[in-house]
Amino acid sequence: MNLHEYQSKEILSKYGVAIQRGFVANNVDEAVAAAEKLTAETGAQAWVVKAQIHAGGRGKGGGVKFSPNMDKLKENAQNIIGMQLVTPQTSAEGKKVHSVLVAEDVYYPGESETKEFYVSILLDRAEGKNTIVYSTEGGMDIEHVAEVTPHLIHKEIIDPALGLQGFQARKIAFNLGLEGNAFKEFTKFIASLYNAYTGIDASLFEINPVLKTSDNKIIAVDAKVTLDGNALFRHKDLEALRDTREEDPMDVEAGEAGLNFVKLDGNVACMVNGAGLAMATMDIIKLSGGSPANFLDVGGTADAQRVQTAFGIILRDPNVKAILINIFGGIVRCDRVAQGVVDAYRAMGSLPVPLIVRLQGTNAVEAKKLIDDSGLPVHSAITLEEAANKVKEVLA
């Protein structure tokens, strides 16, 4: 689950990570109030208005605007709230901006130069350990840095049992070229950041840029947080931060129905019980000349209600030309599933695309008979090969 920048920063702040301060605003009046409050609290003389969407590269797309005075702030908030923001990380249509973060300007001139760094924390699956990735080349597209100057990207692997050690924090600060107060501030910053990462069971933190201000403070100017969905049950408060407007409606509906669903861009939809069988089914669809429109694991109970919900989600996709149901009846009996499919089909009246049903396992023969006798235009199969051939037939 992804969070907005303003939500991420609030969490970081609770863990003692220094951040660029700001308040979220849903309209121009709220933006003005936010700016006034910031000035009262921090003495900020200028602000930055930042579009809150679940995608990076907002600056490049015109979603982050420096506002040196109140008139500019109003104008920027007016333009950004409600805009359809296209960035290198969104689709061509972009994403609608519902709110902005009004933040204090932290790029003010001072005794030393302002510097932007890149810091992320993520799980390195090959190592089985958390990893801090960092670079002096912050503020820009890290993929570009990785391509052109890979030697400027460093990694520090953290043993989860030991946590981030003091010497590691100092090594990172040293490699970033920091000294004096900024060095000390950075070691505190990275320690709190790592604590936050483990504390909320995140799977990704990306802070780009981490800023060294002209008066040698270290703060998070941007914050991207991804939470580990499997650990969300431990964080009911964080679960409430979910913004479903940022997610694909098909994914949201599937999630609510308890279906394990991933949309793909092919033409054959599939409905399967078990993730492994779902993967194998996608292979079979490919072999039969089609291409999977989704991954869908309906789980152990493929009753009429679930099948009908799944049909509804699958059929929202205009690319779907056929549906393949592939269920292995181990604990669940095939005839029960078949009855569920027949009931769901009848409840829907008709389906706009051919349906192929392959049921194997307990009572598979009874299940096939039940479907064949239903009088519905359903292609039934017992072996996977038969099912694949039927898919080929209906696509031809």
- What is the binding site for ligand GDP (CB under 6 A)? 48, 50, 56-59, 64, 66, 103, 105-107, 139, 208-209, 221-222
Q: How far is the CB of 10 from ligand GDP (least distance, A)?
A: 15
Q: How far is the CB of 101 from ligand GDP (least distance, A)?
A: 9
The verdict on whether 15 is a catalytic residue reads no
Q: How far is the CB of 28 from ligand GDP (least distance, A)?
A: 19
Question: Is 273 one of the annotated binding-site residues?
Answer: yes
Contact stretch for Mn ion (CB under 5 A) within 14-22, 66-74, 104-112, 205-213: 205-213
Question: Is 82 one of the annotated binding-site residues?
Answer: no
Find which of ligand GDP, Mn ion, none residue 221 binds, CB within 5 to 8 Å per kind: ligand GDP
Structure tokens at 9: 């920063």
> 222, 246, 297, 335: which one contacts Mn ion (CB under 5 A)?
222
Question: Is 343 one of the annotated binding-site residues?
Answer: no
Contact stretch for Mn ion (CB under 5 A) within 45-53, 169-177, 204-212, 372-380: 204-212
329 touches 286 (CB < 8 A): no
Q: Which residue is nearest to Mn ion (CB)?
A: 222
DSSP string spanning 34-45? HHHHHHHHH--S
Question: Is 180 one of the annotated binding-site residues?
Answer: no
Question: Is 276 one of the annotated binding-site residues?
Answer: no
Contact stretch for Mn ion (CB under 5 A) within 86-94, 220-228, 270-278, 327-335: 220-228
Triad 80, 85, 89: Cα angle to 5°: 140
Residue 208 lies near Mn ion (rule: CB under 5 A): yes
- Which residue, 57 or 299, is less far from ligand GDP as judged by CB? 57
DSSP string spanning 341-377? HHHHHHHH---SS-EEEEEEETTHHHHHHHHHTT-SS
Structure tokens at 221: 């100017």
| Whole-number Å distance between alpha carbons of 19 and 276 | 43
- Which residue, 220 or 370, is less far from Mn ion as judged by CB? 220
7 touches 53 (CB < 8 A): no
Q: How far is the CB of 6 from ligand GDP (least distance, A)?
A: 11
The verdict on whether 206 is a catalytic residue reads yes
Question: Is 298 one of the annotated binding-site residues?
Answer: no
Alpha carbon distances (Å) from 271 to 29, 168, 278, 295: 48, 48, 8, 8
Alpha helix stretches (DSSP H) within 200-303:
236-239, 249-256, 275-287
Find which of ligand GDP, Mn ion, none residue 141 binds, CB within 5 to 8 Å per kind: none
The catalytically annotated residue of 118, 134, 197, 345 is 118
Alpha carbon distances (Å) from 392 to 68, 277, 356: 63, 19, 11
Structure tokens at 187: 């070691």
- Which residue, 146 or 395, is less far from ligand GDP as judged by CB? 146
| Whole-number Å distance between alpha carbons of 281 and 257 | 22
Q: How far is the CB of 36 from ligand GDP (least distance, A)?
A: 17
- Which residue, 102 or 268, is less far from ligand GDP as judged by CB? 102
Which residues, other chains included, contact 113 with Cβ-Cβ below 8 Å and sequence gap of 6+? 214
- Which residue, 109 or 166, is less far from ligand GDP as judged by CB? 109
DSSP string spanning 81-126? TT-EE--TTS-TT-EE---EEEEE------SS--EEEEEEEEEETT
The catalytically annotated residue of 206, 246, 253, 345 is 206
Residue 52 lies near Mn ion (rule: CB under 5 A): no
| Whole-number Å distance between alpha carbons of 125 and 121 | 13
Which residues, other chains included, contact 279 with Cβ-Cβ below 8 Å and sequence gap of 6+? 295
- Which residue, 224 or 263, is less far from Mn ion as judged by CB? 224
Question: Is 106 one of the annotated binding-site residues?
Answer: yes
Question: Is 57 one of the annotated binding-site residues?
Answer: yes
Which amino acids are annotated catalytic?
118, 206
The residue ranges that bind Mn ion (CB under 5 A) are: 208, 222
**Known binding residues for Mg(2+):** 208, 222
**Known binding residues:** 50, 57-59, 106, 116, 208, 222, 273, 330-332
**Known binding residues for ATP:** 50, 57-59, 106, 116
